[in-house]
Amino acid sequence: MSIRPPGEPPSPGRAAMAELKSLSGDAYLALSHGYAAAAAGLAYGAARGPEAARGYGAPGPGDDLPAAPAPGAPAPAAESSGEQSGDEDDAFEQRRRRRGPGGAGDGRRRPREQRSLRLSINARERRRMHDLNDALDGLRAVIPYAHSPSVRKLSKIATLLLAKNYILMQAQALDEMRRLVAFLNQGQGLAAPVAAAPLTPFGQATVCPFSAGAALGPCPDKCAAFSGTPSALCKHCHEKP
DNA sequence: TAGGCCATCTGGTCCT
DNA sequence: AGGACCAGATGGCCTA
């Protein structure tokens, strides 16, 4: 897996990109990389419900999950490895034969022992994936996007990308807030500069907050001192060679 | 029907 | 040895 430099867009699948782009036009959604996000009207899982769409209720071949949990219900606490039906046993045997004797598993184990071990590993893995999905659900719950039942549930990749953008947006907002607080603090007792500062809507200050007063020193230094980098929103930072 | 998304199974690797 | 994690394979369901 390659490490992507910060700020460089990931490479989600085209569908994920389309999903993100079809989301509402909230600022944070388009914050980076043009991922306008997803959600509107795509009824993924709408017909059978978002949880059903997860497929918990649709065991695949060889699946040793005994029954579909209620929608939204947590995964069964105890998924024993001894819950297989006869059909599932057959499926297991078929797969085992297909792989042949030299295939999976520890040759020293007796087949029954080997099978029971395999089933317990499967159950553990299933539980792990359910936990992962629960965590993703928790993430979906705190990302601001349309949560209505008629709206398709965010896919996993869309959830992650959206969360990342949301975090970046929050960090940016926090940074702007700090600038604003610093500006207001510096401006105390200096009514004129404060009044003159044409603060446009939040996050769009057109004048460097640190320029309000002769004793404040060079703007980029102040900006850098505060945020680590000169402000891209600061007129003076841009004007300074 | 193709493509997307998903759950599950499985074998491999690493860690405790 | 056993558990956690990972990635590939497989098959089901859904939508365009």
| Mean pLDDT across A19-35 | 43
pLDDT at A187: 78
Q: Which residue's C-alpha is at the least distance from the C1' of B4?
A: A15
Q: Is the CB of A46 under 7 A from strand C?
A: yes
Measuring alpha carbon to C1', the residue closest to nucleotide B9 is A122
A156-187 and A111-142 are packed helices; what angle lies between their axes, rounded to 10 degrees? 40
Q: What is the pTM of this model?
A: 0.54
pLDDT at A238: 33
Backbone angles phi, psi at A218, to 5 degrees: -65, 140
- Confidence at A18, pLDDT banded by 50, 70, 90: low
Q: For the residues A138-167, what does the mean pLDDT come to?
A: 84
pLDDT at A115: 80
Q: For residue A91, what pLDDT is reported?
A: 46
Query: What are the DSSP calls for A162-200, one per residue?
Result: HHHHHHHHHHHHHHHHHHHHHHHHHHTT-HHHHHH----
List the alpha helices (DSSP H) in A25-155.
Answer: 50-53, 86-99, 111-142
Q: Is the CB of A54 within 7 Å of strand B?
A: yes
CB of residue A111 closer than 7 A to nucleic acid strand B? no
- Establish whether the CB of A53 is closer than 7 Å to any nucleic acid atom in strand C: yes
pLDDT in tens, A70-111: 333 333 333 333 333 334 444 444 444 433 333 333 334 567
Higher pLDDT, A171 or A108: A171
- pLDDT score of A178: 96
Q: Is the pLDDT of residue A56 over 50?
A: no
Q: Is the CB of A51 under 7 A from strand B?
A: no
**A117 nearest nt, CA–C1':** C2
Question: CA–C1' span, A14 to C11, in Å?
Answer: 23
- Over residues A216-233, the mean pLDDT reads 34
Q: What is the pLDDT of residue A175?
A: 96
pLDDT grade for A117, boundaries at 50, 70 and 90: confident
Domains of chain A: 110-186 (4.10.280)
Q: Which of A136, A147, A165 is nearest to A6 (CA)?
A: A165
No. of H helices and E strands in chain A?
A: 8, 0
Strand C at less than 7 A from CB of A142 = no
pLDDT at A25 > cutoff 50: no
